[in-house]
Amino acid sequence: MTPEQFREAGHDLIDWIADYRAGIGDGPVLAAVEPGQVASSFAPSPPSESVTMTSVLDELNDVIVPGITQVQHPMHYGWFPSNASLSSVLGDMASSGLGSLGISWESSPALTEVEQVVCDWMRQLCGLSERWSGTIHDTASTACFVALLSARERASDHAQVSGGLRDPDRPLTVYCTAQAHSSVRKAALLAGYGADNLRVVDVDPQTYAMKSDDLAAMIESDLAAGAKPACIVATVGTTGTTAIDPLAAVAAIARQHDCWLHVDAAMAGSAMLLPEQRHLFDGIEEADSLCWNPHKWMGTILDTSLYYVADPEHLIRVMSTNPSYLQSAADGKVVQYRDWGIPLGRRFRSLKLLFHLRLDGIESIRARLRRDLDNAQWLAAEIEANPEWDLVAPVPFQTVCTIHRPLGADGMPLNGEELDTHNRAWVERLNRTGNAYLTTTVVEGRWIVRVSIGVESTEREHVEALWALMQTTADETALSVRPE
């Protein structure tokens, strides 16, 4: 494709994206396809002829769009807000258009230095101190893996460059709660700690936050048994209920035992952009590493996960390989981001953040976050005022956790498995309509419903519409199973 052909096709694509986004609220939220349906729309063998841009756009419309669950839809309340602000989409396009190769500072000085600048701007916007140095990973899962590798190497005095992890009598232990994201367990296993050495700390039954006393007791008992506590992963904004682990107390325990503290604020970290919310992150300055995803609630398109460390030298020592073919005269004078993570080649990811900040402006982003917090409080108040509904967790951010508790056949409110079945059933029924989308999850053994508010286009009227839908769908579901 020549630049002139690109210009023409590119205009068509931009028009297509603009129309698509403008009309997203008119279609269903949930992808209405069966497993295998999208794949079977394609010929089994690869295309041998080129086609026009018009045919490619037809394929997008006819085959691909129906196979997408529309997380940019204003009635999407599932998982977490996975916003993809159009300003950051332009940054993504600029990144692709530049086609830069980020394997060293020399291969694209601007790629490295804009990432440094933007990470530092984001640090300042979050009210974090100057002790933090940042980089952009693809996801919080990668960031957590890097943190656990760093913790492992600190606790083992850099065993990776000698015998590796070989001492089963003095295992390295990792601590988190059952509410921590599954990526923590995955990272601990991949980093070689072993499932037997991953400790699950108790949570407070009301807030679902880590009990720091339980953490301290577990560490003491591990030390007594000869283990070496290596890493605590604390979460601000857990996946299920957006619980907040008590960072200050956890950090004091981490310091006492020279244990690495990683803070996973993947979803809720956006709230640090709001000065009035920063008290929820008290203690974060004591951590060794922290991660949050602008590609969630803040709305910079995937994959933009900020990872900050207090000691970049340690990170570099763990991650650096420095082969001869990558050495250059700039070494020692510049940041080499390949030594801050796992991949060698990197995209110009910082352009997504740069465009987002420049074109939307931080104050409009902050206003949107505040709107979402208000909407969550509004819904929480509606739920609390309705005797058939329970609010099942505090609402510090934009996620509201609830269950519908109708009367059962015996005239008593449903309980136990019946209650679980009912709540899963009405959510499934609501999701199938395509009018809205919610997710359920198990918290401390019970199924609950999560309303994750925060899609860029979700206004109060949408949350009101959702609440009305929740009530009618839950009532209809209860009636359909209640005997006459």
Ligand X SMILES: Cc1ncc(COP(=O)(O)O)c(C=O)c1O
List contacts with ligand X (CB under 6 A).
80, 139-141, 181, 183, 235, 237-239, 264, 266-267, 293, 305
**Six-digit token string for 424:** 């899963």
Please answer whether residues 281 and 123 qualify as being in contact, where contact means their C-beta atoms are separated by less than 8 angstroms: no
Which one, 77 or 426, has the nearer CB to ligand X?
77
* DSSP tag of 394: -
Q: Which helix (H) or strand (E) covers residue 229, if one does?
A: strand 228-235
C-alpha angle 313/318/320, rounded to 5°?
A: 85
Q: How many CB atoms lie within 10 A of CB 453?
A: 26
Which one, 140 or 191, has the nearer CB to ligand X?
140
C-alpha–C-alpha distance, residues 338 and 305, integer Å: 16
Which one, 135 or 139, has the nearer CB to ligand X?
139
Q: Where are the alpha helices (DSSP H) in 385-459?
A: 416-433
Smallest gap from Cβ 476 to ligand X, in A, equals: 30
C-alpha–C-alpha distance, residues 104 and 107, integer Å: 5
Strand partners, 372: none
Which one, 291 or 373, has the nearer CB to ligand X?
291
Which one, 262 or 422, has the nearer CB to ligand X?
262
**Six-digit token string for 406:** 């109708």
SS3 content of the chain, % helix, strand, coil (to 5): 50, 15, 40
Smallest gap from Cβ 305 to ligand X, in A, equals: 5
Assign 55 to helix, strand or coil.
helix
388 Cβ neighbours under 8 A, 6+ residues apart: 404, 405, 406, 474
139 Cβ neighbours under 8 A, 6+ residues apart: 183, 293, 303, 305
Smallest gap from Cβ 471 to ligand X, in A, equals: 27
Smallest gap from Cβ 294 to ligand X, in A, equals: 10
C-alpha–C-alpha distance, residues 382 and 465, integer Å: 13
Please answer whether residues 122 and 233 qualify as being in contact, where contact means their C-beta atoms are separated by less than 8 angstroms: no
Smallest gap from Cβ 307 to ligand X, in A, equals: 11
Which one, 111 or 140, has the nearer CB to ligand X?
140
* DSSP tag of 274: S
Which one, 133 or 141, has the nearer CB to ligand X?
141
Which one, 140 or 392, has the nearer CB to ligand X?
140
Strand partners, 135: 307
* DSSP tag of 244: B
Q: How many residues does the chain have?
A: 484
Smallest gap from Cβ 143 to ligand X, in A, equals: 8
Q: How many CB atoms lie within 10 A of CB 270?
A: 31
Smallest gap from Cβ 215 to ligand X, in A, equals: 18
Smallest gap from Cβ 80 to ligand X, in A, equals: 5
Smallest gap from Cβ 483 to ligand X, in A, equals: 40
* DSSP tag of 360: I
Q: Which helix (H) or strand (E) covers residue 450, if one does?
A: strand 446-452
Smallest gap from Cβ 233 to ligand X, in A, equals: 9
Smallest gap from Cβ 23 to ligand X, in A, equals: 27
Q: Which amino acid is at 224?
A: A
Q: What is the dihedral of CA 140, 321, 335, 349, to 10 degrees?
A: -40
Which one, 373 or 474, has the nearer CB to ligand X?
373
Which one, 298 or 414, has the nearer CB to ligand X?
298
Which one, 291 or 309, has the nearer CB to ligand X?
291
Bridge-based pairing of strands 228-235 and 172-177 is: parallel
